[in-house]
Structure 1
Amino acid sequence: MHWYSILKTIHVSAALLTASLFVLRLGLDATGKTGWRRTALRWIPHLNDTLLLGAAIGLLLVSGWSPLVHYWLSAKIIVLIGYIVAGRMAMSADRPRRARMIAALAAILQLALIFALAITKPALHT
C-alpha cells in the first residue's frame, strides 16, 4: 500500500491546487484583471489537472476500485464532467459576464460535491 499513500497525497494535493487555481482565476476575472490569460496561470492548471488525472488512474489501479462497483466513484466522475463543462464556460472570455458567473457558481457547487463524494465515499444505490 506504499504506492497508494504516495498517489493519494499527490491526488489530494493536486485537487486542492485545482480548486485554488480555479477560484483565483475566477477572482481575477471578476475584478477585471484579465491579464492572467497571458501568463502561466493560463496553462499551469492544465498541467496540474494532468497530474491529478494521472494520480486518479494510479489510485484506481493500486486500490482495485471500480466505478462500476463503487458508485460514489461513478457519481464523482459524472459530476467531474459537469464541473469541466461549467468551468470551461466560466473561463470563456467570449461569453457574457452573467453567463460566466452562473457557470462559475455551477462549477464551484460541483467542485464541492466532488470533494464531498471523495471524503465521504457514500454507499449510493442504483
Structure 2
Amino acid sequence: MYLAIKHLHILCAILSGCGFVLQGVWMMRRSHWLDHRVTRTLPHVIDTVFLGSAITLATLSGQYPFVAPWVTAKVVGLVVYILLGALALRWGRTMRIRVFSLVAAITTFSWIVSVALSKNPAGYFALTGVL
C-alpha cells in the first residue's frame, strides 16, 4: 500500500510540475488556454491528490513536519512555491514580475524535489556546499 501511494505522489508531482510550467508558458504567450475551465480546475484536483498522498505517506512513515527536518523543509518550500506560483500566474502586475516569479517558483519546485530525493533539508544546496 505504501509503495502505491508513493508512486501516486510521484505521479502527482510530475503532473503538477509539468502543468505549472505549461501554465507559465501560456501566461507568457498570453494564451486563452490559461483561462480555460479545465486549466483552472485540473491543477486543483491534481494538487489535492498530491497533498492527500503526502499526508498519507507522512502518517504511514511517521515522518512529520517539525519532527523530520527534510519534511519540514518540503512544507516550507511548498508554501514559498505556492506564493511564487500565484504571483507568476495571477498576482504579478507586470510581465517582468510574472516571469521572474515563474523562474523562482520552478527553481523552488526543483529544490523541493531534490529535498525529497536526498532526504536532506538542504536539497541540492548540500551538493554545492552553499548551506
| TM-score where L is the length of structure 1 | 0.90
Say if 2:71 and 2:121, in contact at 8 Å, map to a contact too: no
**1:119 alignment partner in structure 2:** 117
Deviations 1:51-90 (A, max 9, x none): 0000001001111112222101101110110000000110
- Partners of 1:106 and 1:34 lie apart in 2 by 24
Structure-to-structure mapping, 1:55-70, within 5 angstroms: 55-70=53-68
State the distance in 1 between where 2:80 and 2:30 align: 26
| Structure 1 residues 51 and 79: alpha-carbon distance in aligned structure 2, compared to 1, 3 A threshold | same
CA distance in structure 1 between the aligned counterparts of 2:83 and 2:121, rounded to whole angstroms: 26
Q: Which runs of 5+ in 2 are unaligned?
A: 123-131
The count of corresponding residues between Structure 1 and Structure 2 is 122
Greater RCO between the two (CA within 8 Å, min separation 6)? 1
Instruction: Structure 1 unaligned segments of length 5 or more: list them.
Output: none
Query: Relative to structure 1, is the Cα distance of residues 22 and 123 closer, same or farther in structure 2, using a 3 angstrom cutoff?
Result: closer
Measured after TM superposition, the shift of residue 8 of structure 1 is 0.3
After TM superposition, which residue ranges in structure 1, 4 or more long, deviate above 2 angstroms? none
Q: 1:12 to 1:39 in 2, by over 3 A?
A: same
